[in-house]
A and B are shown apart, each in its own frame.
Chain A
Amino acid sequence: MDFAFSEEQEMLRSQARSFVTDRFGAERVAQLAETEAGWDESSWDAMTELGWMGLSIPEEQGGAGFGFLEEAVLFEELGYGLYPGPYFSTVALARRALDGAPEQLKRLASGGSRLTLAWIEGGRAKLLPETGMSTQAQESGDGWTLTGEKHLVPDASAATDVVVVAAGPEGLGLWVARCEDAKIEMDPTMDRTRRLGRIIFDGTPAEQVAGAGDVRSTLERVQMTAYAALALEAVGAGQAAFELAADHVKTREQFGKPIGAYQAVSHQVVDSYIGIELARSLAYWAAWCVAEGDERAPMAAAAAKSFAGEAAVASCERAIQVHGGIGFTYEHPLHRYYKRAQWIDSFDGFGSVQRASVATALLGS
């Protein structure tokens, strides 16, 4: 047993930490959150140059041929910096559906595409669909077209391409389409650093990437990768909020003492530390299981996502509390971590939904 990242992975971590602190400090993120685009498109080229887009893509397709553990390091650090941009949507969601589409992987590794996944529609919100979809895929010439409306699509306006869960003639499948061929309408989203939108397809040309035979297993892989990635992001965001809290209580004085000397205050900060450390352990374990294709991966990822999402939310709430009035203002950066933590917590259902799948694994259905 060895519970440590390798030297190379740690180097990647410090590279990522410098990237987010140099380019996406709290003030920069605050500015971007107020822009219409919500992110800085040039960051994508910088990340591509660092080799981050193709980390887990095989060398034949222009990637680095590493695995999810390397990406895990990035998810944690990008979460710490609240990086606004479609890295999660591209790498944790869409990329996991593209293993059978080498040309798509090539484009992605070269920085030529940014992707997201569209799975939610009226009445159907689960990432693992139980029945059909109203969004339809139809054969058209030697290709396909999509028709229908998808909701709550992450980073819809930042993506160039979208992987869509739709009903084809033989059942559910996955198709990839160009966003410019569809209509995108962004929705007001609490977390302005990761916005949700609607994508309306109306005879939109598409390429099939998974058919009825492998759609379920593909979406299961997407789900566990997304859970693990979000757990890592939650650790990053929760850690950042905890550090703000710890720094604040060391310096803020009331009644002639730094408020961290009062146990009613310091113990809250300790509880955040404990929550984030446990979440970190779960998230790293889940990341390893996903990277190795371990049989415990679905359970580990569900466990990590449910715990880390809640731990990050709690860390932010305690940080707001110990900051007093200033922590409650729009001006202070805390609310952005809080909103991201809640975005993560709500993904594919709050923690109780993932615990239900843990319970099924423990107790049967």
Chain B
Amino acid sequence: MDFRDAPEEASFRSELRSWLEENLPDGWRELSPSRTRWNADVSREWSKKLYEAGYVGLTWPKEYGGRAAPYTHQAVFLEEMVRAEAPEHIGVIGLGMAGPTIISHGTDEQKNRHLANILSGDEVWCQGFSEPGSGSDLASLRTKAVRDNDHFVVNGQKVWSSFAHIADWCILLVRTDPDAKKHQGITYLLVDMHSDGVDVRPLNQMSGEPEFNEIFFSDVRVPIENVLGEVNAGWGVAMTTLLHERGTLGFALTSRLEVAMNKVVTLARETGAERDPLIRDRIARHWVELQGLKFTNYRALTTLVKTGVPGPEGSIAKLFWSESNQRLTKLALEIMGPRAQLDGDEGIWDGYWQYQQLRSRGNTIEAGTSEVLRNIIAERVLGLPRSR
């Protein structure tokens, strides 16, 4: 056991730290935290810069633009991004979900076509899994695809799709055999979002912002070479995506929580709440549970490095992160007292926390509800009897 950097981790860290020092967008550090700090243009440009410097896809194979670095470098990378409060890469879905799934199941053509573009941010991806009638019971999905020579023709509706309004590509689950058992008639497609018949409509969430979208598919033609894995074997491919969504992405989300934790400390200082013993206890409690989550991720990572398989502790990441983020954003509002009601320009930090708190309610629903994730841990990790 050793929590110090190994020599190559230390040199990677210091190289990255000085790179960040020189390359953060102009004036970025001076910007106060606010909801306007993130925008697609800054993020797109930043993604490109990161990619050119070789910091995106650290653990991906070299032939697809990665660095084939050990997983611990990804941990160092995330820590340093937190420390610098750097902007985020635009391709969250591509990097965390589509990319790893293509690496696992894709053909050489698919890998060559997409992976480097995902890393550079030239291709933004979205996810077409959930449907109005298929949430937690994802395998009941009804968007259908019918074979027409060398194409599938897709019709149906997807929902809760982040980034769809700016996405170039979509990982899409469709039903290709309506007569098979529900898990066996599903195919996983890579769909060009610029195809004819794709219609994206924004869904306003409770914060008033249109982060999610509905996607309507009307006779959208998808070439047969865009099937990921085998026809009617899409469920297994989708499991790879969900594993990464809750694991790989959960890891990155923890570092985002660390940024938020630091912001809460700043907020407490600015408002004088730092002297309130009850608030002090709550802040300390959050710091402690955040360390617990972070080191649990590290423990799963060590198992991954040593055995090639992530440890079962990894299943905790997304579940605990989502609930912790809800508690933390609520605490930020409590620190503000009655002024917590003021939003937008009138709010403290331009309504940053008001947005974060409302947004956090989605965290325990998206990417597997907390109820579904507890079922998964109960049945697959603890070996308890199936609940259905």
Give residues in A with beta carbon < 8 Å to B.
1-6, 9, 69, 246, 249-250, 257-258, 260-263, 266-267, 269-271, 273-274, 277-282, 284-285, 288-289, 294, 300, 303, 306-307, 352, 355-356, 358-359, 362-364
Q: What is the distance, in angstroms, from A364's C-beta to the closest C-beta of chain B?
A: 7
CA distance A283 to B338 in the complex (A): 38
Partner of A1, one of B274, B280, B298, B306: B298
Q: Which residue of B lies closest to A303 (CB)?
A: B288
Interface residues contributed by chain B, number (CB under 8 Å):
49
Residue B226, interface by CB 8 Å: no
Q: List 21 A-B contacts (CB under 8 A).
A: A1-B72, A1-B75, A2-B302, A3-B301, A5-B1, A6-B1, A249-B384, A250-B384, A250-B385, A257-B385, A262-B387, A263-B371, A267-B374, A269-B382, A269-B384, A270-B382, A285-B291, A303-B287, A303-B291, A355-B288, A358-B287
Instruction: Contact check, B1 vs A4: say whether CB atoms are below 8 A apart.
Output: yes
- CB contacts (< 8 Å) of A358 on chain B: these are 284, 287-288
Instruction: Contact check, A285 vs B295: say whether CB atoms are below 8 A apart.
Output: yes
Q: What is the distance, in angstroms, from B374's C-beta to the closest C-beta of chain A?
A: 5
Partner of B283, one of A5, A306, A307, A362: A362
Instruction: Contact check, B3 vs A274: say whether CB atoms are below 8 A apart.
Output: no
Instruction: Contact check, A1 vs B6: say whether CB atoms are below 8 A apart.
Output: yes
Partner-binding segment picked from B160-168, B244-252, B313-321 = B313-321
Q: Which residue of B lies closest to A307 (CB)?
A: B288
Bits for B290-323, please: 1 = Cβ < 8 Å to A, else 0: 0111011011011100100000010010011000
Instruction: Contact check, A306 vs B319: say whether CB atoms are below 8 A apart.
Output: no
- CB contacts (< 8 Å) of B265 on chain A: these are 362-363
CA distance A352 to B72 in the complex (A): 34
Are A359 and B301 CB-contacts (below 8 A) given A1-B75, A263-B374, A270-B374?
no
Q: What is the distance, in angstroms, from B216's C-beta to the closest C-beta of chain A?
A: 34
Greatest chain B CB density within 10 A among A282, A356, A362 is at A362
Q: Within B159-191, which residues are at the interface with A (CB < 8 Å)?
A: none
CA distance A362 to B156 in the complex (A): 52
Instruction: Contact check, B320 vs A3: say whether CB atoms are below 8 A apart.
Output: no
- CB contacts (< 8 Å) of A69 on chain B: these are 1
Greatest chain B CB density within 10 A among A1, A6, A262 is at A1
Instruction: Contact check, A352 vs B384: say whether CB atoms are below 8 A apart.
Output: no
Known: A278-B289, A303-B288. 7 other contacts (CB 8 A): A1-B3, A1-B9, A263-B374, A263-B387, A270-B382, A303-B287, A307-B292
Q: Which residue of A lies closest to B262 (CB)?
A: A362
Give residues in B with beta carbon < 8 Å to A.
1-6, 9, 72, 75, 265, 268-269, 274, 277, 280-281, 283-285, 287-289, 291-293, 295-296, 298-299, 301-303, 306, 313, 316, 319-320, 371, 374-375, 377-378, 381-387
Instruction: Contact check, B387 vs A3: say whether CB atoms are below 8 A apart.
Output: no
Q: Which residue of A lies closest to B275 (CB)?
A: A363
Partner of B299, one of A257, A271, A284: A284
Instruction: Contact check, B378 vs A267: say whether CB atoms are below 8 A apart.
Output: yes
Greatest chain B CB density within 10 A among A262, A270, A352 is at A270
Q: What is the distance, in angstroms, from B324's C-beta to the closest C-beta of chain A?
A: 10
Greatest chain A CB density within 10 A among B293, B296, B303, B371 is at B296
10 residue pairs, one from A and one from B, having the closest CB atoms: A278-B292, A281-B295, A355-B284, A359-B280, A3-B302, A260-B384, A358-B284, A266-B378, A359-B284, A281-B296
CA distance A277 to B272 in the complex (A): 35
Greatest chain B CB density within 10 A among A258, A279, A355 is at A355
CA distance A364 to B306 in the complex (A): 40
Are A284 and B1 CB-contacts (below 8 A) given A261-B385, A303-B288?
yes
Partner of A250, one of B295, B313, B383: B383
- CB contacts (< 8 Å) of A300 on chain B: these are 291
CA distance A69 to B316 in the complex (A): 25
